[in-house]
Amino acid sequence: MSRNDLETITTDILIVGAGGAGLRAAIAAADAGMTIIVAGKSMLGKCHTVMAEGGINASLGNIDPQDNWKVHAADTIREGQFLNDPRMVEILAKEATDIIWELESWGCLFDRTPEGKIMQRAFGGHTFRRTCHIGDHTGLEIMQTLMAEVRRRERITTMDEVIMTKLLTTATAVAGAIGLNLRTGNAYVIKSKAIILATGGCGRVYRVSTNPLETIGDGCFLAYHAGAELMDMEMVQFHPTGMLHPKTAEGILVTESVRGEGGILLNGLGERFMKNYDPIRMELSTRDVVSRAIFTEIREGRGTAHNRQGGVWLDITHKGKAFIEKKLPKMVKQFKDFASVDITKEKMEVAPTAHYTMGGVRGHAETGATSVTGLYAVGEIAAGVHGANRLGGNSLTDILVFGRRAGRAAAAYAKRTTHAHLPQKQIAKELRRLFEPFTRKKGARPHVLREKIQDLMWKHAGIFRTQKGLTAALKQLQQLRKQTMQVQGSRRYNPEWATYLDVNCMLLTCNAIIRSALERRESRGAHAREDYPNKDDNHWLMNIILFKDRNGMQLKRMPVPPSTLELARVSEEAPNERQ
Amino acid sequence: MKDNEKITIEIVLQNPEEDKEPQVERFSVPFEKGMRVLDAVIYVQENFRPDLAYRWNCGEGICGSCAAEVNDRAVLMCKHEMTPDMKIVRIAPMNVFPVIKDLVVDISEVYKKVLSFKPHFISPQKATREFWTMHEEQTKEAASLRTCIDCMICYDTCHVLRNHENKNFIGPRNIVKLIGIDKHPKNTFEHAPLLEKGDIWSCNVTRCCTASCPQNIKITEDSIIYAKERIMSEKMWKPIKLLFSKDKK
């Protein structure tokens, strides 16, 4: 494609990612008078936010009147093992209430208490009941609300099925981005004063993940190559049991209550392996021990047959049909709908599943502004608020609180600046990268590479890590990076082309995860090192930061920003309050 | 049928840029117990047709991306099982929409149709930041309508749109959306009486949409019949209201 037929679209603010964070930012920026383009990889409303089931945290105190923002903040920091940015946590907890009010005024529905207030449920790790929800489709309801608000604002244009592949930068600031319209197969340039990254996490770099197909860390790739910093990349939250078969269902959460109700774990040989790990508590052992046991069985070749490396069996059939249908109706339906397995008669095949990435692009606590002028990051792609582990129900609060802030900040910045000149050299180089794989006669198939990356990440950089495994993974990854890929067929709506672009992002994201995981020689939160099983507060109250310079990826450590005195006190007090 | 035995699927392929007519191609896919139609499509794309266009994202029936027609019925491919007794599995794009390529269709007409009805929740802005008092009995019906995942299966199944090609009919999905707003207890702008403009009377209540909904929304009862009743009662009450308002003067 020559430069002449390259379409250029101009807007004040470009938002990459059309999930909850992106849409909330768009609304805020539009209300500040800016024109906005929201570009999503899939169609509007098909994002990961709709998959959120649990709920959204805010210390409304509707059920437990003692609750307040300070306890919410303290819970968040404790769960995050003191790796969180305290200022971000404070903002999250303080503004959560207002975010819920705002949602309600836009017509978002929540389950109610008998008095007609918003219902709040208990969630693991919370001192009080504070998770607002509607059934098990809270994310869907919130997205419906946000989409309606976006559609009524004329300043916002949404673009479906557009993959942003490169941010264009001048020496001082962002100038725009190059996107690929999947439907036409054409690239175009979006010229913008500010860019907000709201691309979501990167759970799909792992073989088994609860995340949808598209979440592979685009934002990390875009930000890193634009010169921004990545932080806490080693922190990936896993869940011990997710579905494994068929392929489309892989990763869907299998609730821990299956074990709670008497489900037993068997390896591929039919042995009840928990006896080798925790003979007393067996399947009811802690989440860590169960995860580790399942992972070890699979890694040592005693897994089941499906999905390349296999999983283990989770069996509750001995409890009888009536019991199972009464106690676990949702699981009965889930396995029937997505795997045609009758869990009252058959065993479930499960494996640990990647769920959430706490790390990502490093931004300013108040605004999400990155080290690149005009570039903002928000939501799962932004690092800092969740620290080393995320408290359940905090992610929906996160995307809305910081989405609104980033939208306002980007609008304020865009108002006082002008469009930068487009860097033509960068555009030409990126177009070559985009269309090159069609011209190759030979090369690896992108989906084969994707599988290889997912397998090695799951095996070596997943739920448990060792120096040896991570080093091996880094080596394998470097070898995969050397492989050239080819794409066949037409340019119009070519999924293989999309996979090619995904694989490029994955290679970077995985490199960042492995490098950070190697560096952190302790176990904290979601990061578990078999060779360094203890938490080491003396050396590791540090965030690991990655950035790009002439020699490639560089790494530095920074002490966690100091907590305000008041918050530090609450963090220590809170556990007592719980009793 | 045992695992790894071959099963034949047919996919309707078309790249409107190059082909005038859609072509049907047959592919042989290894069978695995429990596999979904989507698994077969992914297998074909990865092994035989790298540029086969299809949509999918979540794999758990909540994003609503992967709707297509399997043996002439619109379904979510991630939920639809490939059973050994299926003689031919024929996968085609949703019939009522223009094809972008292969199984990917352009659904934008659905959104365009509803825009003029202002599909927004409108309520007087509260002066103070106080929360509403509402009860679940009041919100239940709205909440169930609002679980719509925009998969467009009802829209594709509706015979008014499909067989009679009545392009004026606003379609079940849009009625669900508008009534979902109307039934919100705090909503102050009612959309139902406007739906005559959306040719709602062309629906003759065959309930195909309700039967096809993967979210089990009672589309016919909770939204379409409700809207028709609202239109009728508005028509009946309007003269009476007028009469009384004159009396008062």
Q: Flag whether pLDDT at A2 surpasses 80.
A: no
Q: Flag whether pLDDT at A568 surpasses 90.
A: no
Q: Flag whether pLDDT at A578 surpasses 50.
A: no
- Complete DSSP assignment for A385-402: SSTTSPPTTHHHHHHHHH
User: Quick check: A388 and A235 in contact, CB under 8 A?
Assistant: yes
Note whether B38 contacts A: Cβ–Cβ < 8 A: yes
Instruction: With cut-offs at 50, 70 and 90, classify the pLDDT of residue A41.
Output: very high
Q: Flag whether pLDDT at A544 surpasses 50.
A: yes
Q: Flag whether pLDDT at A579 surpasses 60.
A: no
Note whether A118 contacts B: Cβ–Cβ < 8 A: yes
Give pLDDT, residue B83.
Answer: 85
Q: What is the rounded distance in angstroms from the CA atom of residue A515 to the CA atom of residue A545?
A: 10
Q: How far is B40 from chain A (nearest CA, A)?
A: 10
How far, rounded to the nearest angstrom, does the alpha carbon of residue A131 sit from its chain's CA centroid? 20
Q: What is the distance in angstroms between the CA of the first residue and the CA of the last residue of chain B?
A: 80
Q: Single out the residue of A522, A520, A518 nearest to residue A534, CA to CA.
A: A522
- Complete DSSP assignment for A440-461: -SS-B-HHHHHHHHHHHHHHHS
Nearest to A495 among B45, B126, B147 (CB): B45
Q: How far is B189 from chain A (nearest CA, A)?
A: 12
Q: Do B32 and A246 touch (CB under 8 A)?
A: yes
User: Quick check: B83 and B108 in contact, CB under 8 A?
Assistant: no
Q: What is the rounded distance in angstroms from the CA atom of residue A436 to the CA atom of residue A443?
A: 11
* Nearest chain A alpha carbon to B143: A109
- Complete DSSP assignment for A299-310: HTT-S-SSTTT-
Enter the tokens of residue A279.
Answer: 């003979």
Give the side-chain half-sphere CA count within 13 A for A21.
27
* Nearest chain A alpha carbon to B49: A489
Give pLDDT, residue A308.
Answer: 73
Q: For B182-234, what is each residue's pLDDT tens digit?
A: 999 999 999 999 999 999 999 999 999 999 999 999 999 999 999 999 999 98
Q: What is the rounded distance in angstroms from the CA atom of residue A543 to the CA atom of residue A365?
A: 14
User: Quick check: A316 and A335 in contact, CB under 8 A?
Assistant: no
Active site residues of A: 239, 259
Give pLDDT, residue A571.
Answer: 56
Q: What is the DSSP letter of A271?
A: -
Note whether A31 contacts B: Cβ–Cβ < 8 A: no
User: Quick check: A5 and A103 in contact, CB under 8 A?
Assistant: no
Whole-number percent of chain A with pLDDT over 90: 89
Q: What is the rounded distance in angstroms from the CA atom of residue B249 to the CA atom of residue B247?
A: 5
Element (H, E) at A474: helix A467-482
Give pLDDT, residue A3.
Answer: 47
Q: Do B125 and A105 touch (CB under 8 A)?
A: yes
Nearest to A46 among B64, B78, B126 (CB): B64
Note whether A311 contacts B: Cβ–Cβ < 8 A: no
Q: What is the rounded distance in angstroms from the CA atom of residue A151 to the CA atom of residue A106?
A: 13
Q: Do B134 and A116 touch (CB under 8 A)?
A: yes
Residues of chain B positioned with their CB less than 8 A from the CB of A51: 58, 60, 62-63
Element (H, E) at A403: helix A394-415
Q: Select from A41, A109, A353, A502 the residue whose CB has the most chain B CBs within 10 Å, as the one to mutate to test that interface.
A: A109
Q: Do A246 and B139 touch (CB under 8 A)?
A: no
Q: Single out the residue of A147, A129, A87, A140 nearest to residue A401, CA to CA.
A: A87
Give pLDDT, residue A504.
Answer: 96
Mean pLDDT for chain B overall:
92
Q: Specify the higher pLDDT residue, A325 or B1.
A: A325
Question: Angle of helix A394-415 relative to helix A20-31, nearest 10 degrees?
Answer: 40
Note whether A151 contacts B: Cβ–Cβ < 8 A: yes
Whole-number percent of chain B with pLDDT over 70: 97
Nearest to B132 among A51, A104, A140 (CB): A104
Note whether B199 contacts A: Cβ–Cβ < 8 A: no
Note whether B85 contacts A: Cβ–Cβ < 8 A: no
Residues of chain A positioned with their CB less than 8 A from the CB of B104: 183, 493
> ipTM surpassing 0.90, yes or no?
yes
Q: What is the DSSP letter of B10?
A: E
Enter the tokens of residue B123.
Answer: 């309520």
Q: Select from A41, A183, A492, A496 the residue whose CB has the most chain B CBs within 10 Å, as the one to mutate to test that interface.
A: A492
Q: Do B60 and A252 touch (CB under 8 A)?
A: yes
Mean pLDDT for chain A overall:
93
* Nearest chain A alpha carbon to B127: A105
Element (H, E) at A76: helix A69-79
Q: For A74-127, what is each residue's pLDDT tens digit?
A: 999 999 999 999 999 999 999 999 999 999 999 999 999 999 999 999 988 899
Identify the segments of chain B with pLDDT beneath 70: 1, 125-127, 246-249
User: Quick check: A36 and A159 in contact, CB under 8 A?
Assistant: no
Element (H, E) at B156: helix B153-157
Give pLDDT, residue A285.
Answer: 87
Q: For A451-488, what is each residue's pLDDT tens digit?
A: 999 999 999 999 999 999 999 999 999 999 999 999 99
Note whether B42 contacts A: Cβ–Cβ < 8 A: yes
Residues of chain A positioned with their CB less than 8 A from the CB of B149: 45, 50, 140
Find residues 153-192 of chain A whose CB sits inside 8 Å of chain B: 183
Diameter of chain A measured on Cα atoms? 71
- The CB density around residue B82, as the number of other CB atoms within 10 Å, is 24
Cis before A246? omega within 30 = yes
Look-up of token digits 């009486």 = B193
Note whether A472 contacts B: Cβ–Cβ < 8 A: no
Q: For A150-209, what is each residue's pLDDT tens digit?
A: 999 999 999 999 999 999 999 999 999 999 999 999 999 999 999 999 999 999 999 999
Q: For A516-530, what is each residue's pLDDT tens digit?
A: 999 999 999 999 999
Q: Select from A248, A254, A337 the residue whose CB has the most chain B CBs within 10 Å, as the one to mutate to test that interface.
A: A248
Q: Single out the residue of B241, B92, B176, B37 nearest to residue A248, CA to CA.
A: B37
Q: Three-state SS across A231-257?
A: ECCCCEEEEEEEECCCHHHCCCECCCH
Q: What is the DSSP letter of B101?
A: E
How far, rounded to the nearest angstrom, does the alpha carbon of residue B52 sit from its chain's CA centroid? 24
Instruction: With cut-offs at 50, 70 and 90, classify the pLDDT of residue A257.
Output: confident
Q: Do A104 and B54 touch (CB under 8 A)?
A: no
Q: Which residues contact residue B214 at a Cβ distance below 8 angstroms, ignoring those fewer than 6 apart?
A: B61, B64, B75, B76, B79, B149, B151, B153
Give pLDDT, residue A152.
Answer: 93
Note whether A113 contacts B: Cβ–Cβ < 8 A: no
Q: Which amino acid is at B185?
A: P
- 3-class secondary-structure state, position A524: strand
Angle at A64 between CA A63 and CA A69, to 5 degrees: 115
Give pLDDT, residue A5.
Answer: 66
Note whether B47 contacts A: Cβ–Cβ < 8 A: no
Give the side-chain half-sphere CA count within 13 A for A345.
4
Residues of chain B positioned with their CB less than 8 A from the CB of A100: 131
Q: Do B51 and A488 touch (CB under 8 A)?
A: yes
